[in-house]
Amino acid sequence: MSAALPSGSWILLSGCSRGLGLTLARQVLTEGGQVAGLSSKPHANLQELQHQHGSRFYWQALDISDSGTIDQVVNRAAQHFAGAPLWGVINNAAISIDGVLATLPVVDIERVLQVNLTSAIVLVRSALRLMLKQRQGGRIVNISSITGSRGYSGLSSYAASKAGLDGFTRALAREVGRLGITVNSVAPGYMRTALSQGLNESQLQQIVRRTPLGRLCSTEDAAHLVQFLMSEQAAFITGQVITVDGGLTC
């Protein structure tokens, strides 16, 4: 079963330089799709994608915490893919600042909420303006986390941001469904990515032991579901928060 994007379309992907974002970019490009990737800094991985896929991969630097620049960045991506429809958005960029809430600086709380929630909403807002003009439907997938529904000690701000993202998903699905645009959240379990660096090996192995399928979530596990939700085959799935965690939270 192919989960390719509609022919000639492109997607907007934040947090594309590593981890799940990089896996998603590679999968979409391999299927013949076009990707406008956003990340805070250039990376050798991105140069590799540009070398392999040419103009089908367009990268822009974006400080996702600076909401005021998002409209400009999205418009430049649209200019690069001139004439091609924007099919959807994958909100993947996120940060996590570990710490007990009582001693966590307010500036850290605000940054987590700004990057993970506010800027994600603003990015979708900007993309929707293009998608609504096109009148061709589309897809929005927000990368959430099981932490948003289950919590984890020391990650209260991160959990709050992901729970907020899931609420945004449900509300926006009702708002844009009549236009043929679906909105879903994918909530992966714990992965070996930059976001899990606060967990030591003992904690990760404890998670593995509690997981019925006996391993951590891989970026490929989550990416396959995201790619399906972005496809035309997922046209009747919207407003959902879908967990990919090997049964950890069942």
Per-residue tokens: 214: 């006996």
Backbone torsions φ then ψ of 211, nearest 5 degrees: -95, 120
User: What Cα–Cα distance (Å) separates residue 145 from each residue in 42, 82, 227?
Assistant: 26, 34, 17
CA atoms within a 13 Å half-sphere pointing along the CA-CB vector of 192 = 9
Per-residue tokens: 233: 């085959």
Look at the block and give the residue holding tokens 């399928």. 213
Measured CA to CA, the distance from residue 230 to residue 183 in angstroms comes to 9
Residue 158 bears catalytic tag: yes
Residues in the chain: 250
User: What Cα–Cα distance (Å) separates residue 230 from each residue in 9, 18, 80, 89, 183?
Assistant: 11, 20, 21, 9, 9
Among 58, 152, 158, 190, which one carries the catalytic annotation?
A: 158
Catalytic annotation, residues: 158
